[in-house]
Amino acid sequence: MHFIANNIEKLLNDELFLTPLASLASSYLEQGQNTSYKEKDNQFQIEIDAPGFSKKDLGVTIEEDFLNVKGKVDVGGRKRDIDKKYKLPENVDKTKMSACLKNGILSITIPKKEKRKKLSIEIK
């Protein structure tokens, strides 16, 4: 499985296939945990299965261009952990990201930056 994930990651990192969502997908393949991705016009949405975790068990941080999700919990004597790292696309607004844990699913919303509007420069 690791061999397949590495080859798919190489394909996704090829310039022809390199898109913001492909970058997120390649991060997922490295981790091999239940995660889903959605891209909308104005945001990305990541959902991570986190049954048994509470807010206090999880941490979501941003370091440079990476989103980190870590957590540990002991559920009925069974230890579980989450340790994920995602490379963020350039077109996201890191200051407006949000996370919500509901029914065992950690949802992370990553807004896209507003597209710059065309500016006209007056010629004098």
Spatial separation of the C-alpha atoms in residues 62 and 71, rounded to whole Å: 15
Number of domains the chain contains? 1
Token look-up 């350039």 returns 90
Q: What is the pTM of this model?
A: 0.66
Q: Which of 9-18, 28-37, 78-87, 115-124 has the highest mean pLDDT?
A: 78-87
**Domain assignment of residue 57, given as a range:** 2-111
Residue 106 dihedral angles phi and psi, to the nearest 5°: -90, 115
For residue 112, pLDDT over 70 is answered with yes
Residue 28 dihedral angles phi and psi, to the nearest 5°: -65, -45
Answer yes or no: is 124 within a domain.
no
Work out the pLDDT band at 76, boundaries 50, 70, 90. confident
For residue 14, pLDDT over 80 is answered with no
- Residue-averaged pLDDT of the chain: 78
- The CATH number of residue 94's host domain is 2.60.40.790
Answer yes or no: is 122 within a domain.
no
What is residue 92's DSSP assignment? B
Q: Across the strands, what pairs with 119?
A: none
Answer yes or no: is 50 within a domain.
yes
Q: Which of 32-36, 50-54, 74-78, 118-122 has the highest mean pLDDT?
A: 50-54
Answer yes or no: is 120 within a domain.
no
Answer yes or no: is 79 within a domain.
yes
The H or E element spanning position 4 is helix 2-12
